[in-house]
């Protein structure tokens, strides 16, 4: 690992490694895919599946059949379903606490303000399947949507390059969670299908889930046609450690990120001994050497990592100072892998420093809100002059008239000579 002394210059070097860059060539390729799917629908999906996945999928097989789902249960071990039930209960319980609730505020003079929350009607979930079928992504995305009350969930995942089939574990998990629509479509073409709709794949309101650079760029480009959860790059972990940390734990956690394409590990430590040990153990990534835990927390918040592990004395205190991170793992026995699979909170997290303004996937990501504003004539009268003044400043005469019309039953509309019509 490359050792760097902490300062703002050092952080810029690390952030360059983490940054999600926009590749012009990739932009053009993805843009071509998106618009061809928008124009030609299922035929374009079939073409791009043949081009990128090496599989010719007949149009009638784009959607996985009930028979295929039923046969998938025969291909998984009997131990899988009980394990899944334990995991999904953890995830469900966490997100039931995460829901926002509608509210009303009754103010003075009869003013009532509030907000109503409603689930989205239809969302699309993307589940990666390139390097390996990410079974955990199914429940880490579907359950928050289900808890939010989403009525229709469409799941897209790429077919196996050799068989053209979907991994049976993905089918089983999706089925047990009540997902009825599953499509053997991957890459940017899957994002395009869900964003624009085709004869086979109805349009969705929002797309969630991680993916390769094509998927990420496609989500970026369709934002506005549909909602998206976040822009995510390669996986990353940042470990804040002092002399109490076990080097073996750190080594294993840093190396685990290398299983993801482009995955990166950063160790932030005040221990010179730990620096000497770790610089020889792991080839990739960075060691950021700091003077104390104050500097460590400052550095971590500047990096704003996807995952951050706190392996220090008084780990809870240190964790309390981390304000920019996707997910914080507190203590020596809270490895990132627990968050990936079983703890409860979703592993769909902001990467590349975007934790400064994005948050982890939540049930609230599948809920939209409607504001409630209710005035009576008395309360409207009390703010009348203030609103009139603002409409004059902005030069919006018709806005002022719409306000004054409410008082035309007792007086002429000020400065217009217009009276409220009778009847």
User: What spatial distance separates the first Cα and last Cα of the chain, rounded to whole Å?
Assistant: 81
**CB-CB neighbours of 48 under 10 Å:** 23
Residues 175, 72: Cα–Cα separation, whole Å: 10
Residues 237, 245: Cα–Cα separation, whole Å: 16
DSSP 8-state assignment for residue 180: -
Question: Is 352 strand, coil or helix?
Answer: coil
Contact by Cβ (8 Å): 13, 168? no
Parallel, antiparallel, or unpaired: how do β-strands 367-374 and 112-119 relate?
A: antiparallel
Alpha carbon distances (Å) from 40 to 196, 203, 275, 302: 11, 15, 56, 45
Q: Quickly tell me which residue has 């590749």 as its tokens.
A: 23
Question: Is 122 strand, coil or helix?
Answer: strand
Residues 225, 350: Cα–Cα separation, whole Å: 21
Alpha carbon distances (Å) from 204 to 106, 144, 150, 366: 36, 16, 11, 12
Contact by Cβ (8 Å): 229, 363? no
Residues 21, 351: Cα–Cα separation, whole Å: 12
User: DSSP per residue over 239-283, as a string?
Assistant: EEE-TTS-HHHHHHHHHHGGGSTT-EEEEEES-HHHHHHHHHH-S
Report helix angle 293-303 to 8-18, nearest 10: 40
Residues involved in catalysis: 306-307
Contact by Cβ (8 Å): 216, 231? yes
Instruction: Give 3-state DSSP helix, strand, coil % of the chain, rounded to 5.
Output: 45, 15, 35
318 half-sphere exposure, CB direction, 13 A CA radius: 28
Residues 221, 30: Cα–Cα separation, whole Å: 8
Where is 170: in which H helix or E strand?
helix 168-176
């Amino acid at each position: 690992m490359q050792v760097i002394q902490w300062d703002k210059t050092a952080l810029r070097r690390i952030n360059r490694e983490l940054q999600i860059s926009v590749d012009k060539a990739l932009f053009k390729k993805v843009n071509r895919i998106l618009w061809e799917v928008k124009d030609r629908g299922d035929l374009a999906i079939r073409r791009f599946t043949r081009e990128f996945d090496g599989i010719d999928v007949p149009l009638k097989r784009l959607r996985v059949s009930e028979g295929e789902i039923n046969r998938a249960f025969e291909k998984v071990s009997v131990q899988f379903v009980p394990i899944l039930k334990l995991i999904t209960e953890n995830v469900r319980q966490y997100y039931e606490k995460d829901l926002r609730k509608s509210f009303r505020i009754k103010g003075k003079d009869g003013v009532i303000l509030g907000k109503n929350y409603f689930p989205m009607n239809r969302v699309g979930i993307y589940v990666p399947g390139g390097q390996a079928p990410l079974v955990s992504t199914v429940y880490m995305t579907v359950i928050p949507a289900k808890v939010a009350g989403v009525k229709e969930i469409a799941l897209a995942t790429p077919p196996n390059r050799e068989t053209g089939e979907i991994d049976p574990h993905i089918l089983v998990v999706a089925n047990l969670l009540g997902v009825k629509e599953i499509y053997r479509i991957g890459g940017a073409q899957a994002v395009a299908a869900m964003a624009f709709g085709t004869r086979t794949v109805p349009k969705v309101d929002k797309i969630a889930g991680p993916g390769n650079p094509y998927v990420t760029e496609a989500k970026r480009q369709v934002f506005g046609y549909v909602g998206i959860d976040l822009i995510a790059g390669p996986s990353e972990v940042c470990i804040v450690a002092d002399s109490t940390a076990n080097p073996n734990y750190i080594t294993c956690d840093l190396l685990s990120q290398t299983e993801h394409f482009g995955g990166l590990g950063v160790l932030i430590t005040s221990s010179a001994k730990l620096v000497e040990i770790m610089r020889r153990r792991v080839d990739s990534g960075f060691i950021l050497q700091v003077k104390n835990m104050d500097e460590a927390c400052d550095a971590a918040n500047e990096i704003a990592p996807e995952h951050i592990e706190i392996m220090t004395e008084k780990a809870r205190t240190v964790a309390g100072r981390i304000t920019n991170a996707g997910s914080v793992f507190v203590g020596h026995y809270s490895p990132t892998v627990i968050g990936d699979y079983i703890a409860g909170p979703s592993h769909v997290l902001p990467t590349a420093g975007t934790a400064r303004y994005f948050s982890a996937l939540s049930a609230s990501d599948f809920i939209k809100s409607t504001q409630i504003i209710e005035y009576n004539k008395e309360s409207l009268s009390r703010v009348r002059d203030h609103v009139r003044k603002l409409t004059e400043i902005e030069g919006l005469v018709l806005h002022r008239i719409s306000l004054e019309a409410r008082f035309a039953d007792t007086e002429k509309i000020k400065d217009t000579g217009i009276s409220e019509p009778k009847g």
